[in-house]
Each structure stands twice: as structure tokens, then as C-alpha cells.
């Protein structure tokens, strides 16, 4: 494998003349070849998702190895599904994933930016600048760029709902659900505001926001539900209730089915009277459990999924339905925490500890059917924790999945604003501003640093260029005009994709969190630095 990588490297560059295999190890230009090969691979990845940037970016359809179809506009999702093989290219995939974790949005931008920085680095390499110098130069440039971003950012207050809505709308505008942003943006903003305390919190746990996806209906029908929504359905096979008012909710982690003896142990019967006793014992065992549950006042029973035993059997369901207790089984282990938080109940592991103080209270628990699917909704919860449930609906699974991803991105945008309460404008404006200021800075410096600053400045312009291209505009005229406007002090001038002109992004309500932009610059620069410092690829077992 090492030999393959080594001999493969020269092939990738047109300039390298083919040599004998052993020669490659003695050649001085091998590190350069490795570097160039890495750059080529990484750039190919950047190019692959370039067309999905921006509000008019297109989607990718990916047929995975398992013949599943994914249609997406989200950079991280696309790259996750493309099985990228080249190790250097994989770094860009990871970069996109890192941006997804850190900021949640801008996953396409970060990769496109990294691709562009690599192109710049390639040119500098060819000029004979040492890779570590390039890495260092870019690092300084990135620090300066972040400073510039912070300088032009607009601090906000989380009470200002308008700004939050606008940022969510900007994030949603590039997705397939863009036309529904007037519905989805308030859902996103309200759900985040519901789970955080704006005065104290500096982060949002997105696990507290639950998205339930149901096929059927259109995205218009999506809503933020007061209370909790369960994916599971009420069990009605024994005629149990599906609607309980003034419900007391219990969450049990044990099973309502007769215990099974071990394989080694046998119950031995040698008299016919014992047969009756066995049947009766089973009944009484279950009856006892159910009666205790009823005694605690529980009217809605959530049962955790168990792999060892049946969660319920027909006998216990029969008893539950007789006692008018609504039963919902198959609650996943990882849902327990959320459900407990949302309903204020506590998980009960043992029947003896089934007491009233562990129950949650809700005004209504109801299973309802709409658009061909059933959901259980718990509303009017007393002592509800800080959680939010969103029901997503869509015509088919593809739309639904993509809508889910878009909502996640928008949630992340709001989360970024909670983390770092500042905004920058969108539409390529901050990138042009960075580019111009860095160019000026470059002139104040000497040596390789100056050249690196200049190269970095030009590389950053890839964002407005791509935006313009994807919108069907002429990138040259747009970018040159943008430079002009920014040089004249219009810091918020960006590409108005809808009208195909340049306008004030602040007035157009195209805004994004500062954190998305800074994290994109920091992460992409770091990835480029790391790629610069690689001079050999070896396969290890």
C-alpha cells in the first residue's frame, strides 16, 4: 500500500515524469507530490458540493451502497453519504462534520472555503514558499479575519425575537423547505427559546428539542406542539382507551408479563390441581402488578422496551384496559430522559417503588389521527421541564428527512446565537469585507506573510463568487461591484440573490450568527494547515 501511494503520487501531477518504482523514494520532490496529491483530492471534495451553496444552490441525489436514496442540500449530509476514499479528502469530510457539531450551519461554506484556501496554498507552493510558512501565514490571516468579523458584527439580545426569526429564515432559505420558512422559522425560534433561559444559558442542549417525523400531509402542517409527542401508539388490541383526560403518567422500566424461568429450572407438576394453580398464579401476579399501578392513581402507562421479555402480554393488557389505563409500549431507552424531563415523571424500575409522587400530570393524553398517521400527544403538562416537541410532516420520506435536516440547521443557528450573541450579515458581504481588509493588511507587512495574507484575502472571495454563480449571475460583475461598494464603506453590501443585484443585506434581513462565520474560517484554516504539514502518506496496518 505504501508503494502504491508513493508511486501513485507522481502520476497525479502532470509535471512528474514517470520513474522506476524505487526511484520515487530517493526523489527530493516526493513531499511536494504528496502535498499536491492531497490538495487535488481535497479540492475535488470541495468542488463536489460547491453547487449546493446558497439560497439558489441545488440538491444532490445520492444512491448509497444499500440502494437508499438521499436527497440533500446540506454539505455535511452529502459528504457523510459519499464514501470518500482518499485520506486527505476524508479530512474535508471531517471538517464539514466538525462545523456541523460546532455551528450546525455553514457546512457547505466551510468545505468550499477550505478548497479555495488549498488552491491558494498550491499556488504559493509553486512559488517556492515553504509549506510551514504558508501554514503560519494562513494562521495569522485567519486570526485577523476573525478579528475583522467580530469588529463588523452586530451584538444582539435574545429578547429580540425579530432578529432570531430573520437568522432562522436565512438558514432555511437555501433548503428545499425555503417556501415554508414563514412557518418553520417561528417553530425553530420558539422551541429554542422554550428550552433556554436567555439570561443565564450560554448553550442549548438540542436533545431537549424533539422532532417527530410523520409522512403524510405537507410541511405546512408541521407544528410546535405544546407538551410532548410520542412516536409510539397506544395499544388498543385489548380495547384500551386512547384518550385520557387529567392523566397521571407513569413510566415503568419493568415488564407486565409473567417471569420466565431459566432454561435450567423447570416447574414440575404432578397433580392436576397444580395446573389450575399455575394458571391462577399467572393471573394473580399480573393482576397484582396492575392493581398496584392503578392504586397509585396512574392512568397512562409508558413501558420501556425490553429485549429479554415481552413488555406486556394480552392478559396484562386486558387488565389495563379493564382499569381504563392507557398503555404505550416500546419506549426506547434513550427517550426516557427526555420524556421524564418533559412530563415531570420519574422512571420506575420496580413495582414496589411505584408511588404517586413519581407520576407526571397532564390535562390530556390523546392518540389522534391526521393525514394518515397516528400520534400520541400529551398536553397541559404540569411541572413540565424545559423541552419542546416539533411534529414534522411532509409528502414523502425524502422531503421529510431533508426538512428535518433543515430544521436542525436552523436550530443550530439559533443555538449559535445563544452561545455567541452577535450577528453578521450574509450574502457574501463579510467575506468581501475580510478580503479587502486583509489586502490592506498585506500591504503593511513584508515577506512571505504579506503574500500569504494576499492569497488568503483572495481565497475568501470564493464564497461570494460561488453564491453569484449558483444564482445564475455573472460572478465577475457581481464580485467587482461588491468590492467597489465595500471600498466605499458599505459594509453590509451583499448579493441579493432574489433580485440578482447588490443591496444592503441588513435591510434584506439576510443575517447569520457570527459563530458560523468565525468557526468556518477557523476550522477551514486549521484543516488547510494540517494538510500543508503532511509530506508523506504511509499505510499502516
Residue positions annotated with a catalytic role: 74, 107-108, 409
Q: Please tell me whether residue 84 binds other proteins under the rule CB under 8 A.
A: yes
CA distance linking residue 495 with residue 473, whole number of Å: 10
Question: By C-beta, is 20 or 273 nearer to other proteins?
Answer: 273
Question: By C-beta, is 52 or 167 nearer to other proteins?
Answer: 52
Q: Please tell me whether residue 89 binds other proteins under the rule CB under 8 A.
A: yes
Q: Please tell me whether residue 73 binds other proteins under the rule CB under 8 A.
A: yes
CA distance linking residue 381 with residue 379, whole number of Å: 5
* Beta-carbon contacts of residue 435 (< 8 Å; ≥ 6 apart): 457, 458, 460, 461, 483
Q: Taking each helix axis as running N to C, give the angle between helix 107-126 and helix 514-532, from 0 to 180 degrees, rounded to the nearest 10.
A: 40
CB of 138 to other proteins, least distance (A): 14
Question: By C-beta, is 237 or 353 nearer to other proteins?
Answer: 237
- Provide DSSP, 26-45: H-TTHHHHHHHHHHHHHHHH
CB of 159 to other proteins, least distance (A): 34
Q: Which residues in the 470-499 window bind other proteins by CB under 8 A?
A: 471-472, 474-477, 479-480
* Beta-carbon contacts of residue 17 (< 8 Å; ≥ 6 apart): 10
Q: Which residues in the 278-317 window bind other proteins by CB under 8 A?
A: 278-280, 283-284, 287, 291, 314-315, 317
Is the separation of the CB atoms in 227 and 389 below 8 Å? yes
Residue listed under C-alpha cell 507530490 = 33
Contact residue for other proteins among 6, 34, 48, 148 (CB under 8 A):
48
Q: Which residues in the 337-366 window bind other proteins by CB under 8 A?
A: none
**Measured torsion, CA atoms of residues 81, 87, 92, 94, in degrees rounded to the nearest 10:** 70
Residue listed under C-alpha cell 412530563 = 343
* Options 99-107, 116-124, 145-153, 532-540: segment touching other proteins (CB under 8 A): 116-124
Per-residue contact flags (x/-) with other proteins for residues 169 to 198, judged by CB under 8 A: -------x--x-------------------
Q: Which helix (H) or strand (E) holds 328?
A: strand 326-331
Q: Please tell me whether residue 64 binds other proteins under the rule CB under 8 A.
A: yes
Question: By C-beta, is 335 or 469 nearer to other proteins?
Answer: 469
Question: By C-beta, is 100 or 461 nearer to other proteins?
Answer: 461
Q: Please tell me whether residue 323 binds other proteins under the rule CB under 8 A.
A: yes
Per-residue contact flags (x/-) with other proteins for residues 396 to 415, judged by CB under 8 A: xxxx----------------
Q: H/E/C letters for each residue in 330-377?
A: EECHHHHHHHHHHHCCCEECCHHHCCHHHCEEEEEEEEEEECCEEEEE
Amino acid at each position: 500500500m505504501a508503494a502504491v501511494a508513493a508511486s501513485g503520487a507522481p502520476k497525479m501531477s502532470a509535471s512528474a515524469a514517470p520513474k522506476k518504482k524505487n526511484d520515487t523514494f530517493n526523489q527530493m520532490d516526493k513531499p511536494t507530490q504528496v502535498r499536491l496529491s492531497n490538495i487535488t483530492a481535497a479540492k475535488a471534495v470541495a468542488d463536489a458540493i460547491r453547487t449546493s451553496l446558497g439560497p439558489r444552490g441545488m440538491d444532490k441525489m445520492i444512491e448509497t451502497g444499500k440502494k437508499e436514496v438521499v436527497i440533500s442540500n446540506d454539505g455535511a449530509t452529502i459528504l457523510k453519504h459519499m464514501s470518500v476514499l482518499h485520506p486527505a479528502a476524508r479530512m474535508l469530510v471531517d471538517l464539514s462534520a466538525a462545523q456541523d457539531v460546532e455551528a450546525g450551519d455553514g457546512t457547505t461554506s466551510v468545505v468550499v472555503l477550505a478548497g479555495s484556501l488549498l488552491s491558494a496554498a498550491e499556488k504559493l507552493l509553486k512559488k517556492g514558499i515553504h509549506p510551514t510558512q504558508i501554514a503560519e501565514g494562513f494562521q495569522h490571516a485567519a486570526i485577523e479575519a476573525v478579528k475583522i468579523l467580530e469588529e463588523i458584527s452586530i451584538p444582539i439580545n435574545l429578547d429580540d425575537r425579530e432578529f432570531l426569526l430573520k437568522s432562522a429564515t436565512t438558514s432555511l432559505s437555501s433548503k428545499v423547505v425555503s417556501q415554508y420558512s414563514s412557518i418553520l422559522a417561528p417553530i425553530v425560534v420558539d422551541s429554542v427559546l422554550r428550552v433556554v433561559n436567555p439570561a443565564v444559558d450560554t448553550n442549548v442542549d438540542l436533545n431537549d428539542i424533539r422532532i417527530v417525523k410523520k409522512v403524510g400531509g405537507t410541511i405546512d402542517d408541521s407544528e410546535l406542539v405544546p407538551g410532548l409527542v410520542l412516536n409510539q401508539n397506544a395499544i388498543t388490541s385489548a380495547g384500551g382507551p386512547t384518550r385520557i383526560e387529567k392523566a397521571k403518567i407513569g413510566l415503568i422500566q419493568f415488564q407486565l408479563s409473567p417471569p420466565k424461568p431459566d432454561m435450567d429450572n423447570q416447574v414440575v407438576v404432578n397433580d392436576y390441581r397444580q395446573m389450575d394453580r399455575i394458571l391462577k398464579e399467572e393471573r394473580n401476579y399480573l393482576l397484582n402488578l396492575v392493581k398496584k399501578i392503578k392504586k397509585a392513581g396512574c392512568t397512562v402507562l409508558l413501558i420501556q422496551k425490553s429485549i429479554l421479555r415481552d413488555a406486556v402480554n394480552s392478559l396484562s393488557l386486558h387488565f389495563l384496559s379493564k382499569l381504563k389505563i392507557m398503555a404505550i409500549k416500546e419506549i426506547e431507552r434513550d427517550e426516557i430522559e427526555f420524556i421524564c424531563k418533559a412530563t415531570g415523571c420519574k422512571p420506575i424500575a420496580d413495582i414496589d417503588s411505584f408511588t404517586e409522587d413519581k407520576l407526571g400530570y397532564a390535562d390530556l393524553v390523546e392518540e389522534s389521527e391526521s393525514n394518515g398517521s397516528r400520534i400520541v400527544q400529551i398536553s397541559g403538562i404540569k411541572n413540565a421541564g424545559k423541552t419542546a416537541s416539533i411534529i414534522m410532516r411532509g409528502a414523502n420520506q425524502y422531503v421529510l428527512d431533508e426538512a428535518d435536516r433543515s430544521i436542525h440547521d436552523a436550530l443550530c443557528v439559533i443555538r449559535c446565537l445563544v452561545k455567541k450573541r452577535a450577528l453578521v450579515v450574509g450574502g457574501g458581504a463579510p467575506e468581501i469585507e475580510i478580503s479587502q481588509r486583509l489586502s490592506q493588511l498585506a500591504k503593511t507587512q513584508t515577506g512571505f506573510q504579506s503574500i500569504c495574507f494576499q492569497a488568503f484575502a483572495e481565497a475568501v472571495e470564493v464564497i461570494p463568487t460561488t453564491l453569484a454563480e449558483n444564482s445564475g449571475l455573472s460572478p465577475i460583475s457581481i464580485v467587482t461591484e461588491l468590492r467597489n461598494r465595500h471600498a466605499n464603506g458599505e459594509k453590509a453590501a451583499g448579493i441579493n440573490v432574489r433580485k440578482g443585484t447588490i443591496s444592503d443585506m441588513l435591510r434584506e434581513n439576510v443575517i447569520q450568527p457570527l459563530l458560523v462565520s468565525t468557526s468556518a474560517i477557523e476550522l477551514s484554516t486549521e484543516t488547510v494547515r494540517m494538510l500543508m504539514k503532511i509530506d508523506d502518506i504511509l499505510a499502516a496496518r
